[in-house]
Structure 1
Amino acid sequence: MPIRHRLLAVVVAVLWGANFIAIHASLEIFPPFLCSALRFFLMAIPTLLFVPRPQVPTRWLVGYGIGFGILQFAFLYLAMDAGMPTGLASLVLQSSAPFTVVLGALLLGERLSPRAAAGVAVAALGMAVVGSQRLDAQAGLLPFVLTLMAGLGWAIGNLASRQAAAPKPLHLTMWMTVIPPIPMLLLSLLVEGPQRIGTALADSMTTAAIPAWVGLAYTTLLATVVGSGIWTWLMARHPSGTVAPFSMLVPVTGIALAWLLLGEVPAPLELVGGALVVGGVLWASRSRRVSTPAITAQPVTAQPSSRTGLTRSA
């Protein structure tokens, strides 16, 4: 994985880490399912009007929208509304990385190199250390399980976007936003009810709702369009097991911002866990040098791996 692609993956991790603060602000006004429906509705309309449909099989487009859009954010927003702390949510959602690796191996036949497997294991250990310090004190079992389900949804979306192999990944990302709005709105009507929806919409017209709208705008434009667009572009060019570990950098940003802005102070062991996450990701993404010059000099060796789903040496 070239250094510029690694840097892009880090940028996405920072954007998505800050996104948890934006979600927290939005949920102060909007109930979870309505908030998710609004997030995608704001992007679906201009997408249908101005963005050409991506040249990918419909099943992968729908799968991407269901996994990445509906499952991930329905469970995540519900978990945070049920009491999942912002920083902890940013950590537990990164269960998507090991989920992606496991599903990639089971469903796509992808191989994970020993180096990458060790890096993912170290990063997962870091997540476990941080989670063990915060779960009992700040969140119950239900929000934790809901966030794990959100991570599984993200992993399903990762594999669908990879299988789509869109020639224009941003178009795929934009069209993914067409899938969630109606199902999420129906969920909102069934679960949250017209009265709660009406109250939220009325409150959203006050000055107190400005942070919620700013958070919704950040989530829509920067997290979804920019972040997901770059992520889809990377997933189309590299094996799932190479790209997915970078998502483990998201909680580093999320926990740090939750500490600074929301007063969620991390314990010393949480900082140790964060260091393990960073170290594991860096180790998993580090390419192993190949001793034969004739092989390393051929740039085309990167192409078959993206088509077949097999990992390169990492």
Structure 2
Amino acid sequence: MQLDRTVDRGALGAAAVTVVLWASAFVVIRTAGHHFSPGAMALGRLLAGSVTLGVIMIVTGERIPPRAAWRGILISGVLWFACYMVALNWAEQMIDAGTAAMVINIGPILIALLGGMFLGEGFAPRLFAGMAVSFGGAVVVGLSTSHGGGAALLGVVLCLLSAAAWAVSVVAQKPALRHASPLQVTTFGCTVGAICCLPFAGQLVDDVAAAPLSATLGVVYTGVLPTAVAFTAWAYALSRTSAGKLGVTTYAVPALVVFLSWAVLGEVPGPLTILGGALCLAGVAVSRSKPRGV
């Protein structure tokens, strides 16, 4: 089995930064979720990210993106920066960070599918076989969490919804990057997400007042590094390679999250959950592989 590794080096470096920072976010969200509601945490993260990105925009002299970029910015702002983050925060209040990361990482298959349909990137020969394996893995994860009751199953469903929101947003973001810089697309997408989450402002004020400083700083951290830095790095990488190829670089996120969860939180997914997560990732690998001789 031969994987397609033709990824621009600059894009690969930016993707590596994104992978490490996103992995850390899963663990911080799990910790801060004991003190912040899902919507409040998303708003706090997006506000911190918007302020950080706004400062960078001013320092670098970037301007408002042209009109042609706004469709992709609005879609990614609503679905990725707002809906994805609220859903992920909610999911991690019901399932551990490692399980969430494994389920969400069926996203690259959906990105490849949508990229082939709407961006003209074509379909990998084994895409649909990989989809079947990954979704089978998601079913196994769902079964493995069934002992946790309806809440755990809801957590898995929320992760699947997050994966779908991520995939749609990446495909919408790709055309926007033809008209605007990665920093512009990320800054205004983050700002749109923050505006969408403003109904949670009252909860955020209450949660900050009651939460320990460490939890509040954790929320700020997710806004500055896993959002402002990582999402900009992702947009930069996406501007230099195809959506399908870039999605593959997130293979490493679940492994990093499981390791960090074990080291920091003492949480390790059960054997059946790990099997299901492995199937999810194996499906992504199959979907991006080429038949022998190709």
Would the alpha carbon gap of residues 229 and 275 (structure 1) be closer, same or farther in structure 2, given more than 3 Å must change? same
Larger gyration radius, structure 1 or structure 2: 1
Count of aligned pairs: 280
RMSD of aligned residue pairs (Cα, Å) = 3.1
Q: List aligned pairs for 1:71-82, cutoff 5 A.
A: 71-81=83-93
- In the TM superposition, what whole-angstrom CA distance separates every residue of 1:102-142 from its partner, at most 9, and x where no partner exists? 33333334312215665666566555555543454475322
1:158, distance to aligned residue in structure 2 (A): 0.5
Larger relative contact order (CA 8 Å, sep ≥ 6) = 2
Tell me the secondary structure at the aligned position of residue 77 of structure 1. helix
1:229, distance to aligned residue in structure 2 (A): 1.7
1:268, distance to aligned residue in structure 2 (A): 4.0
1:234 matched residue in structure 2: 237
1:175 matched residue in structure 2: 188
Letter of the aligned partner of 1:213 in structure 2? Answer: T
1:260, distance to aligned residue in structure 2 (A): 2.4
1:86, distance to aligned residue in structure 2 (A): 1.7
2:24 matched residue in structure 1: 18
1:178, distance to aligned residue in structure 2 (A): 0.9
Structure 2 unaligned regions, length at least 5: 1-5
1:308 matched residue in structure 2: none
2:216 matches 1:209: no
Would the alpha carbon gap of residues 281 and 105 (structure 1) be closer, same or farther in structure 2, given more than 3 Å must change? closer
1:256 matched residue in structure 2: 259
Question: Which whole-Å CA distance do the structure 2 matches of 1:140 and 1:271 have between them?
Answer: 15
Q: List aligned pairs for 1:273-292, cutoff 5 A.
A: none
2:105 matched residue in structure 1: 94
1:97, distance to aligned residue in structure 2 (A): 2.1
1:269, distance to aligned residue in structure 2 (A): 4.8
Q: TM-score, normalised by structure 2?
A: 0.79
Question: Which whole-Å CA distance do the structure 1 matches of 2:52 and 2:262 have between them?
Answer: 36
2:158 matched residue in structure 1: 146
1:73, distance to aligned residue in structure 2 (A): 0.8
* Partner residue of 1:103 out of 114, 122, 135: 114
Q: List aligned pairs for 1:112-151, cutoff 5 A.
A: 112-114=123-125, 129-130=140-141, 132-137=143-148, 139-151=151-163
The answer on whether the counterparts of 2:52 and 2:224 sit within 8 Å (CA) in structure 1 is: no
The answer on whether the counterparts of 2:103 and 2:277 sit within 8 Å (CA) in structure 1 is: no
2:268 matches 1:265: yes
1:60, distance to aligned residue in structure 2 (A): 1.5
Q: TM-score, normalised by structure 1?
A: 0.75
Of stretches 171-180 and 242-251 in structure 1, the one that deviates more from structure 2 is 242-251
* Partner residue of 1:184 out of 197, 200, 203: 197
Question: Which whole-Å CA distance do the structure 2 matches of 1:57 and 1:151 have between them?
Answer: 23
Structure 1 unaligned regions, length at least 5: 291-312
Question: Which whole-Å CA distance do the structure 1 matches of 2:285 and 2:161 have between them?
Answer: 26
The answer on whether the counterparts of 1:88 and 1:134 sit within 8 Å (CA) in structure 2 is: no
Tell me the secondary structure at the aligned position of residue 236 of structure 1. helix
The answer on whether the counterparts of 2:25 and 2:226 sit within 8 Å (CA) in structure 1 is: yes
1:2 matched residue in structure 2: 7
Question: Which whole-Å CA distance do the structure 2 matches of 1:15 and 1:75 have between them?
Answer: 19
Would the alpha carbon gap of residues 9 and 122 (structure 1) be closer, same or farther in structure 2, given more than 3 Å must change? farther
1:50, distance to aligned residue in structure 2 (A): 5.1
1:69, distance to aligned residue in structure 2 (A): 0.5
1:307 matched residue in structure 2: none
1:303 matched residue in structure 2: none
Letter of the aligned partner of 2:27 in structure 1? Answer: I
1:84 matched residue in structure 2: 95
Tell me the secondary structure at the aligned position of residue 35 of structure 1. helix
Would the alpha carbon gap of residues 286 and 217 (structure 1) be closer, same or farther in structure 2, given more than 3 Å must change? farther
1:37, distance to aligned residue in structure 2 (A): 0.8
- In the TM superposition, what whole-angstrom CA distance separates every residue of 1:26-77 from its partner, at most 9, and x where no partner exists? 2222221111111111232354455123345211111121121111112111
Question: Which whole-Å CA distance do the structure 1 matches of 2:26 and 2:251 have between them?
Answer: 14
1:70 matched residue in structure 2: 82
Letter of the aligned partner of 2:161 in structure 1? Answer: M
Question: Which whole-Å CA distance do the structure 2 matches of 1:273 and 1:140 have between them?
Answer: 15
The answer on whether the counterparts of 1:92 and 1:144 sit within 8 Å (CA) in structure 2 is: yes
Tell me the secondary structure at the aligned position of residue 197 of structure 2. helix
2:42 matched residue in structure 1: 36
Tell me the secondary structure at the aligned position of residue 192 of structure 2. coil
1:180, distance to aligned residue in structure 2 (A): 1.4
Of stretches 158-167 and 65-74 in structure 1, the one that deviates more from structure 2 is 158-167
1:158 matched residue in structure 2: 170
